[in-house]
Amino acid sequence: MSAPLRLGTRRSALALAQSQQLADALTRTSGREVLLVPIVSEGDVNRASLSQLGGRGVFANGLREALAAGECDLLVHSLKDLPTAQPDGLVIAATPAREDARDVVITRDGTPLSELPQGSVVGTGSPRRIAQVLRRNHRVQVRDLRGNVDSRLSRVRDGDLDAVVLAAAGLSRLGGDLGGLVAEPLGLDEWPTAPGQGSLAVETRTDAASDLLEALGRLDDLPTRIEITAERAVLATLDAGCHAPVGAHASLSDGDLRIRALVYALDGAHRIGMDRTVRLEPGYARTAGSGDGAIAADGADPIARAARTGEDVAHRLLERGAADLVPRESTP
C-alpha cells in the first residue's frame, strides 16, 4: 500500500478547510490517503499591514521552503497570495475549478457600501480594496485589518467596525455562515478583484513522482487555468506585487476570453482601466496530468494566448500611465 501523501498548508481555519477539500478530491483521483501538514508562514506571524509586507510571498515562502526540503509532498495556496514568479524546482500542477471570484461587503443591517453614512468605518488590509472602498464611498474611513475571517466578522457584529470586505470564495469554503450579518456581493465589472481570487493553486516539486503529477492533473480545470493565466500576466507585466492596488478578472465563455483590469491610486482618487476580449481557438484539449497548460488539437495554445493577452492589457495600461499608480514588485 502506498504511503500517505503529505499536503502542506497554513494553519488558519480557511487554509485548513480548503486544504481538506483538496485532500479529499486528491484521495479520490489518486486512491491514496492525504494527510495535512500545518506550516507557519511569515504572514501568519508578521502582523504588519499588507501594504507594508508588499508582494514578497509572505503567505507562501515558508510553505515552499518546507516543500523543497521534502517535509511535504504538495501544497495548497490561495492563488491570489502567490507572487507571479515561479521558483525553480516547483510547479503549479493543478488549479481546480474556481469558486466565486467576487468580493463581498459584510454589514450588520445590509446597508450598501455606497450608502454608508459619513464616518462609517470599513475594515480591510488590502491596498486594492482600500482604493476601491474609497472610490465607491469617500465618506467612510478605512481601518487597516488583519486576522482570520471569524475575527473580522466579530468586529462588525460587536460594532467595532461598520463593515468589512472579504472574498466570497473564502466565506463559501468556511460554510457561508455569517451569524446574522448581511453580505453585499460586488460586481466584477466595476470591482475586479485580485488576480487569481477564488482559485486554489496546488504546487509540488518538478521532480515529483509521475503518478502524483497525473493525479493532480486530473484536478486541473482548463477554463480556470486560462483565466488565471491572463490575470496573473497582467500583474507580472505591470511588475506589481500581489497586494498592489490592481484588480483584474478574466472570464471565458464560449471560446471568448474577456479581461477587465483596473489600476488604482492608493487613495482611490484615480484609476486607469482596460477591457479586452479575444477569441480562443475552438477544440483545444488538455492531456491529463499536463498541469501547466493546454495544447489545442490544431496546434494553438490557449494558455499562451491568454498570457499574451494579459501582457497586452498590461502594456496598454502602462501606456495610459499605470506605472505612476502601481508600487513596484518587492519580491526578490
Tell me which residues are annotated as active site. Answer: 81
Q: Cell numbers of 106, please?
A: 459584510
Q: What radius of gyration, in Å, describes the C-alpha atoms of the chain?
A: 20
Assess contact for 228 and 96: CB atoms under 8 A.
no
Residue pair 132/262 in contact by the 8 Å Cβ criterion: no
